Amino acid sequence: MMAAPMTALLRARLAGACSGVRRWRHTEQARKETHFGFQTVSEEEKGERVYQVFENVARKYDLMNDSMSLGVHRLWKDWLIQYMNPTPGTKLLDVAGGTGDIAFRFVNYIRAQKEKMIRHKLKYQQNLSWSEISRAYQQEEQGSLGGSRAVICDINKEMLKVGKQKSLTLGYSEGLSWVAGNAEELPFDDDKFDVYTIAFGIRNVTHIDQALQEAYRVLKPGGRFLCLEFSQVNNPLLARAYDLYSFQVIPVLGEIIAGDWKSYQYLVESIRRFPPQVKHFCNTSQQFGLL
């Protein structure tokens, strides 16, 4: 007769113990400190504040990128895709991919590769009629990405929302998936992707080592990790000019264009805080076999 009450008591104590462990972990996370720009905050607070920054700037994110970099960010991203040189069939994971800039370029590149393949194929097929040529193009266009796929993963749902709308506006209906996920705990199986990219996002991650470990986990053997990020300007004169522009102009642009000074002040500070970590970042990347 005592078995049922005893079982209930044990369950209650176990539930209490588990709750206590969760509270302890939550407290430990809150105690650990990291940086948010030039401020020192708890790890938990950094995650929340970074999320809020990108939620605030999502609608004007692309416009601000053009304004802050005078359009140069487009060249950097073009270079990244050229360096990647993906082929039809490539599976790409773009983390912190937000509004889809890398993924759209990836799709364009694959389409161009397929177009070259069609032209090369038709070049050696003589005496084809226009209808036969047209039919050949139509057949190839049905699978214009050749099995390639880009998964855009971002922790911020507002950024993904803007990216999805942008893809519809620009006519990217094939080969894209949008997934809400944390770089430190990716919602994907092991050995799934050929290429992992993260452009201007790694400095916003609280635990960079965990993000790198996750990148290694989801990449196929022989897969590639490509990171695009800001670093230090070594020339003293250029460094002074860069600092002046970063701290005196970019936050003002943020206020004028996006109505948000603080978010762009953080972004400038986060760039300035990241360079001292570059050596550590490269060393950590090597530990996980990513360099």
**Under DSSP, is residue 196 helix (H, G, I), strand (E, B) or coil?**
strand
Residue with tokens 């998964």: 151
Let me know if 118 is exposed, middle or buried by CB neighbors in 10 A (0-12, 13-18, 19+).
middle
- Is residue 183 a known part of a binding site? yes
- Could you give the residue ranges of the DSSP H alpha helices within 85-156? 101-123, 130-141
- Is residue 194 a known part of a binding site? no
Rounded Cα distance, 197 and 199, in Å? 6
- Is residue 199 a known part of a binding site? no
Positions of E strands within the chain: 33-36, 39-42, 91-95, 149-154, 176-180, 193-199, 219-228
* CB-facing half-sphere around the CA of 138: CA atoms within 13 A: 6
Query: For the CA atoms of the chain, what is the radius of gyration?
Result: 24
Q: Residues with Cβ < 8 Å from 163, sequence gap 6 or more?
A: 97, 98, 99, 100, 152, 154, 178
> Phi and psi (nearest 5°) for 184?
-85, -10
Q: Enumerate the known binding-site residues for S-adenosyl-L-methionine.
A: 99, 154, 182-183
Q: Which residues are annotated as a binding site?
A: 99, 154, 182-183
